[in-house]
Structure 1
Amino acid sequence: MIGFDYGTSNCAVGVMNNDQPTILSLGDHGRFTPSTLYSPSRDIISHWLYQRLPESAQADFKARRGLSLQRSQNIIRELKLDGISPELSFGQTALDNYLNDPEEGYYIKSPKSFLGASGLVEAQIHLFEDIVAAMMMNIKTHAEQALQKDITKAVIGRPINFQGLKGEESNRQAINVLTNAAKQIGFKDVEFQFEPVAAGFEYEASLSQETKVLVVDIGGGTTDCSMLLMGPEFRESTDRSAHLLSHSGVRIGGNDFDIQLALKGIMPSLGMNSYLKTGKPMPVNSYNQAVAINNVNLQTEFYSQANRRFLEQLKRDAAEPDIFERLLKVHDQKLSYCLVNGAEQAKIALTEAHEANIALDEIDHQLSVEVSRGLMLEASNSQLRQISQMMDSAVKQAGCQPDVIFVTGGTAKSPVLNDYLTAQMPGIPLVIGDHFGSVTVGLARWAKRIFT
């Protein structure tokens, strides 16, 4: 039995060992595998998955994905004729393969962000199920190798609200995708636990008395907040519903901070904030679409041929067409992930430094931009305000003030974020948890509690 953090930014697996949680090392990935997948073609993902399913599951999969599997056979033959391996890659290797040639192949980062999206047709839902299943299969295989035993039971973390516009309908859709994917690859018992609640379990293990804890979990795609009554007398309970005093969530996470930093820090070098020959401001819609890597509809619009023609017209109308040409290059070479990855690396660098450099050689030779903590604060002001409002909402629902604020998630390392949150609730201690591991070990604790 495992705790499985299928995260927006990273995936990790936790197990209990002598009543202590351990995060498994997943082969070359280490303890945390970036939530990325790269395939030479989108249409061969289902074939890769089919080949690795147990024989008992292959017939059912073939019945449901027959057309996709048929199509993949032709594509695999073409790839082999071109000397291209039909293998999928995951984690950092997936990113490396994408960056090596952004125009080729199919790369997806943070598929969890899309699972609650509105308007998905059946074929798109099937694709996301196969993407999630392939990623889970990679993780499960490494975890079983580390443990030297089969894994059949998993508690998977989930946000309070998945990204999506339809509330509970979006949540149900996302949970169905995750459940179907998990059972498809061999998990027999699948349960879910709210990620902020799981993160709080690890903090609870350190408490010696009853404490009201406001848990703020800043994930890659969502930020969730729960007010929990915690303490040593509650640790062994298998029903914590009475201790969950309130919860709230917003569809804002680390990816959104990266996107806003890319928009504010990088896009001016591609012509945003410039002017047309008429003296009117340059339209910004395409710039927003270009970096919206967590919105499948906006990315589809940006990379459409109709938008390519629109960008050509904008270039003719631009007062600085050579600068605007860089946005056309982003379109033609599919560089959205390159831009946002540069912003993400700069955000990480700003944890230790007050300024960071983003190299943009893929866009233009020797092009680079400088960003700062001040710029990051300005870029993410709207997101920070929404997180603050979510915290206020959780406190209001609970009808009491927290004794402590426990913050976890990758972006929790940022001094920009910490300073902002401290200012929102002055006088209440702010505790920073294990930035990536709190949810994973909390899920492992819960898995042991409910499966034994």
Structure 2
Amino acid sequence: MNKHLYGIDFGTTNSALSIFDEASQQIIATITVPSLIYFPQEAIPGEKNYVVGEQAITGYLADGMKGRFIKSIKQILSRSSFIETRIHNKRYNAADLVALILKDLKAKADELLGYDCQKAVIGRPVFFDDNDPAKDTLAHTRLTKAAQLAGFGEVRFQFEPIGAAFAYERTITKQEKVLVADLGGGTTDFTFLILDPEQAGNKDRKRDNMASGGIYIGGDSFDSAFMWDRGTPYFGKNTLYEATPGKVLTVPVSLFANICSWDQMNFFNGLRIRKDMENYYHYSKNDPKFKNLITLIDNNLGYSVFQSIERTKIELSKQELSAFAYSNMEIEIEEEISLAQYNGIIAKDVAKIAAYLDEFLASNNINPAEIDSLFLTGGTSLVKGVQALFKERFPQVPVNSGDNFTSVAKGLAYSGYLFDD
């Protein structure tokens, strides 16, 4: 009889699925996809009319960046203001959109196994939207519904940093008290727990988890801060307009806050906003930088701009200088960014993570001296400013890391004990 379970890390930026063979107690494969969906501009009757992951990027670029390109879907799970969006005359709520990515992962894994696997441990952040019980319940309900829509009949949920910890546990040789930090695109989560290689696979791990917490800040927050500081001036943030003679005003900054957040940019296409932008453009005497904003929205260029921001962030995790460069449809950006400048841009968000970390340690009575090791995972853990934070806070504690993009999924796959509740 086939007996497998899937460990699924549905992430803001990337998602991963690990296939666990319960007989051999081994992970036999791990699949990763970017958490992206693309709906072509023209729907074909009777066809699927959407693609996921790398195919979403390919399709979006091949179609001249038309259609609907959706990123960072995880961030809308906790937002009661998001009810649904209409694409190709079909309504999609939050669970529907998440289910498309989960279904894609499941189909790929089922094809490898040769049967329909119904069993999954799905990761979730400690808090979907800071410590707000109502939002957390809403997000958890939506994620549960998405799993059902994707075809999973048996589902359990595990905190993502605990999943990361269980992956790390398979690499150590003795018992350790470990502080795990899972720094993803949308959230930063912490867990303090006892790991012991002799306990790996044990059915009762509840006593080993001593504290968990999280904050709603991640790599997307850094990208938004960068877009606000360095990107929006190229899209007319400081544009002046004269609607009445002699009265010169600055275009409302709320327009530019919208283009700094992916989940808002996805749905930033209302007729009223479009009319307002046309008026501002007219009364600014056709300011070329404000024209860039109209071009950005009309041509759905947000993803390609944020790709440039992401490249800058990645390069600055390896070197001292990078170029923030973008050239498309008369939008021209070319600016050198130093690591010091980048650290200044993200300083407020890093400070918030640091403040929450201090609060987490204090509220759970964790003495830094009792921490044997740190385990950092998630793509945002590669950012130099983040690494500096942990080195400064814990100068004597060894810092470890695994595969920053698959550690959580693998650890979730090791969490089969949750089905014995």
The TM-score bracket by the shorter chain reads 0.7 to 0.9
**Percentage of identical aligned residues:** 29
Q: Give 1:118 shift.
A: 1.9
State the alpha-carbon separation in 1 of the partners of residues 250 and 341 from structure 2. Answer: 22
1:429 and 2:417 correspond: no
1:21 and 2:27 correspond: yes
1:90 and 2:90 correspond: no
In structure 2, the CA distance between the partners of 1:367 and 1:206, relative to structure 1 (3 Å rule), is closer
State the alpha-carbon separation in 2 of the partners of residues 20 and 228 from structure 1. Answer: 23
The one-letter amino acid of 1:9's match is T
User: Superposed, which structure 2 residues align to 1:41-120 within 5 Å?
Assistant: 76-77=44-45, 87-101=49-63, 104-120=66-82
Contact persistence 1:226–1:394 (CA under 8 A): no
Q: Which residue in 2 is equivalent to 1:207?
A: 172
State the alpha-carbon separation in 2 of the partners of residues 19 and 377 from structure 1. Answer: 43
State the alpha-carbon separation in 2 of the partners of residues 403 and 319 from structure 1. Answer: 63
In structure 2, the CA distance between the partners of 1:371 and 1:451, relative to structure 1 (3 Å rule), is farther
The one-letter amino acid of 2:163's match is A
User: Superposed, which structure 2 residues align to 1:36-435 within 5 Å?
Assistant: 36-40=36-40, 76-77=44-45, 87-101=49-63, 104-121=66-83, 127-163=93-129, 167-273=132-238, 283-295=252-264, 300=267, 302-318=268-284, 321-364=287-330, 367-400=333-366, 401=368, 402-435=371-404
In structure 2, the CA distance between the partners of 1:447 and 1:376, relative to structure 1 (3 Å rule), is farther
State the alpha-carbon separation in 1 of the partners of residues 404 and 85 from structure 2. Answer: 36
SS at match of 1:360: strand
Q: Which residue in 2 is equivalent to 1:8?
A: 12
In structure 2, the CA distance between the partners of 1:324 and 1:122, relative to structure 1 (3 Å rule), is closer
Note the alpha carbon deviations across 1:422-452, whole angstroms, 9 max, x for none.
2233333322332111101101111367469
Note the alpha carbon deviations across 1:136-169, whole angstroms, 9 max, x for none.
22111111112223211000000011137x8222
The one-letter amino acid of 1:40's match is P
Q: Give 1:91 shift.
A: 0.7
State the alpha-carbon separation in 2 of the partners of residues 101 and 186 from structure 1. Answer: 30
Q: Give 1:353 shift.
A: 2.6
**Structure 1 or 2: more helix by fraction:** 1
Q: Give 1:122 shift.
A: 7.1
Contact persistence 1:276–1:282 (CA under 8 A): yes
The one-letter amino acid of 1:241's match is K
In structure 2, the CA distance between the partners of 1:315 and 1:123, relative to structure 1 (3 Å rule), is closer
Contact persistence 2:121–2:416 (CA under 8 A): yes
Contact persistence 1:11–1:33 (CA under 8 A): yes
Contact persistence 1:16–1:448 (CA under 8 A): no
State the alpha-carbon separation in 2 of the partners of residues 388 and 279 from structure 1. Answer: 42
State the alpha-carbon separation in 1 of the partners of residues 343 and 249 from structure 2. Answer: 28
Contact persistence 1:245–1:397 (CA under 8 A): no
In structure 2, the CA distance between the partners of 1:123 and 1:379, relative to structure 1 (3 Å rule), is closer
State the alpha-carbon separation in 1 of the partners of residues 201 and 48 from structure 2. Answer: 47
Contact persistence 1:218–1:408 (CA under 8 A): yes
State the alpha-carbon separation in 1 of the partners of residues 329 and 28 from structure 2. Answer: 42
The one-letter amino acid of 2:15's match is C
SS at match of 1:117: coil
Q: Which residue in 2 is equivalent to 1:54?
A: none
SS at match of 1:286: helix
**Structure 1 or 2: more strand by fraction:** 2
Contact persistence 2:201–2:414 (CA under 8 A): no
Note the alpha carbon deviations across 1:387-425, whole angstroms, 9 max, x for none.
112211221133122222211001112223212332233
Task: Structure 1 unaligned segments of length 5 or more: list them.
Answer: 25-30, 43-74
Contact persistence 1:155–1:190 (CA under 8 A): yes
State the alpha-carbon separation in 2 of the partners of residues 177 and 198 from structure 1. Answer: 21
| Bigger mean CA deviation after superposition, 210-219 or 306-315 | 306-315
In structure 2, the CA distance between the partners of 1:285 and 1:184, relative to structure 1 (3 Å rule), is closer
In structure 2, the CA distance between the partners of 1:283 and 1:420, relative to structure 1 (3 Å rule), is farther
Q: If the length of structure 2 is used for normalisation, what is the TM-score?
A: 0.86
Contact persistence 1:223–1:249 (CA under 8 A): yes
The one-letter amino acid of 1:188's match is G
Note the alpha carbon deviations across 1:35-64, whole angstroms, 9 max, x for none.
01111269xxxxxxxxxxxxxxxxxxxxxx
In structure 2, the CA distance between the partners of 1:283 and 1:195, relative to structure 1 (3 Å rule), is same
Note the alpha carbon deviations across 1:299-352, whole angstroms, 9 max, x for none.
64x432322233334334548812221112112222222222221122122222
Contact persistence 2:34–2:53 (CA under 8 A): yes
| Bigger mean CA deviation after superposition, 418-427 or 143-152 | 418-427
Q: If the length of structure 1 is used for normalisation, what is the TM-score?
A: 0.81
State the alpha-carbon separation in 1 of the partners of residues 41 and 136 from structure 2. Answer: 29
In structure 2, the CA distance between the partners of 1:366 and 1:169, relative to structure 1 (3 Å rule), is closer
SS at match of 2:259: helix
Task: Structure 2 unaligned segments of length 5 or more: list them.
Answer: none
Contact persistence 1:2–1:447 (CA under 8 A): no
SS at match of 2:262: coil
State the alpha-carbon separation in 2 of the partners of residues 423 and 274 from structure 1. Answer: 41
State the alpha-carbon separation in 1 of the partners of residues 48 and 16 from structure 2. Answer: 26
The one-letter amino acid of 1:351's match is S
Note the alpha carbon deviations across 1:167-200, whole angstroms, 9 max, x for none.
2222222222222222233211100000001101
SS at match of 2:258: helix
SS at match of 1:32: strand
